């Protein structure tokens, strides 16, 4: 892997917000809002040299979620080198590469918003794991108080293909074990810890330790309250949502998360898990994910 391929793309908006995306995995590793606050968790032990999947940020999960299938855990997209299509502060070439289908669920607004596009196409290495021809696109756009991601998967082969996917968002929190997740009431979920299916009866999910739930038919808007701030997790095109934290007892098994860091993060992610997406030859699937942050004045050290 070349050193050039490991150089991140950096986006800076007029209001001072910024984002960092590595072509390795088309992986967002940082999103700082205009007040300077980091909104995404990134492990201090994360590998940023391409030797392993990056712990934290927003990993792109495709074409398999977790270990639910024959592929390596979470598929190959997060450990593949994506091609940078274009990047910069509103370069026309960025928006021109995305047709109307990629903006069906959300219009990022100003054509001058800083954005970057990334492309992954099938190769002998991917076809050895997953025998399909495809083209995947990720677009990252900085908006006022928001980070917008679009994921597009196109079937360029002659046979239909089925896959699962997620944008595995690690939110940076003051104290995850006092956080509240709103918006999931009434939705069924399967709990990978208790192995017991259930329904979210309470209006709020209070995270007190390890949690690993897949909510089927999740709503397009979920909010996370962390102390005095609120983070919004919006999505369209994804059918499910995942809430995950390894808990203090699970940190050691990860191998790349410092002790105590489970209190500093919570994954709340849009996903397609329960029913795989099926894309016919020549067609495409598009999904959208937008993070919003309630801005408050605070000093940043």
Residue of 168, 234, 251, 289 marked catalytic: 168
Q: 293 and 32 in contact (C-beta within 8 Å)?
A: no
Residue with the two structure tokens 């369209």: 236
Q: Residue 1: is it exposed, middle or buried by C-beta count within 10 angstroms (0-12/13-18/19+)?
A: exposed
Within 10 angstroms of residue 193's Cβ, the number of other Cβ atoms is 12
E-only strand ranges, 114-228: 114-121, 134-143, 146-155, 161-167, 170-172, 180-182, 188-191, 197-199, 204-206, 211-215, 221-226
Opening angle at CA 20, ends 291 and 25, nearest 5 = 90
Residue of 154, 234, 251, 269 marked catalytic: 269
Sign of dihedral through CA atoms 74, 76, 81, 83? negative
> What does the DSSP 8-state code read for residue 5?
G
How far is it, in rounded angstroms, from Cα 231 to Cα 209? 19
β 134-143/114-121 pair status: antiparallel
Closest CA to 179 of 233, 234, 238, 218: 233
The verdict on whether 269 is a catalytic residue reads yes
Tokens at 113, concatenated? 């918003």
β 180-182/188-191 pair status: unpaired
> What does the DSSP 8-state code read for residue 55?
S
What residues are annotated to the active site? 168, 269
């Amino acid at each position: 892997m070349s050193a050039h391929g490991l150089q991140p793309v950096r986006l800076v908006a007029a209001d001072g917000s910024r984002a960092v995306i590595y072509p390795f995995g088309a992986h967002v590793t940082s999103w700082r809002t205009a007040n300077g606050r980091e909104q995404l968790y990134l492990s201090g032990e994360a590998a940023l040299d391409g030797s392993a999947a990056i712990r934290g940020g927003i990993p792109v999960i495709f074409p398999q979620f977790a270990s639910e299938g024959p592929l390596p855990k979470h598929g190959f997209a997060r450990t593949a080198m994506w091609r940078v299509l274009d990047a910069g502060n509103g370069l026309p070439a960025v928006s021109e590469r995305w047709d109307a289908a990629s903006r069906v669920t959300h219009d990022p607004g100003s054509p001058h918003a800083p954005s970057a596009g990334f492309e992954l196409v099938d190769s002998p290495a991917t076809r050895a794991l997953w025998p399909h021809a495809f083209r995947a696109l990720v677009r990252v756009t900085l908006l006022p108080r928001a980070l917008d991601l679009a994921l597009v998967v196109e079937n360029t082969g002659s046979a239909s293909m089925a896959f699962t996917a997620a944008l595995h968002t690690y939110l940076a929190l003051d104290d995850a074990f006092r956080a509240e997740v709103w918006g999931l009431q009434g939705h069924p979920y399967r709990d990978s810890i208790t192995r017991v299916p259930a329904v979210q009866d309470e209006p709020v999910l209070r995270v007190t330790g390890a949690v690993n739930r897949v909510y089927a038919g999740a709503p397009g808007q979920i909010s996370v309250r962390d102390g005095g701030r609120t983070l919004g997790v919006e999505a369209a095109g994804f059918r499910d949502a995942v809430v995950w934290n390894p808990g203090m007892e699970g940190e050691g098994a990860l191998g790349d998360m410092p002790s105590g860091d489970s209190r500093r993060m919570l994954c709340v992610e849009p996903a397609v898990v329960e029913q795989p997406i099926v894309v016919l030859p020549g067609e495409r699937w598009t999904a959208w994910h937008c993070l919003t942050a309630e801005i408050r004045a605070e000093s940043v050290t």
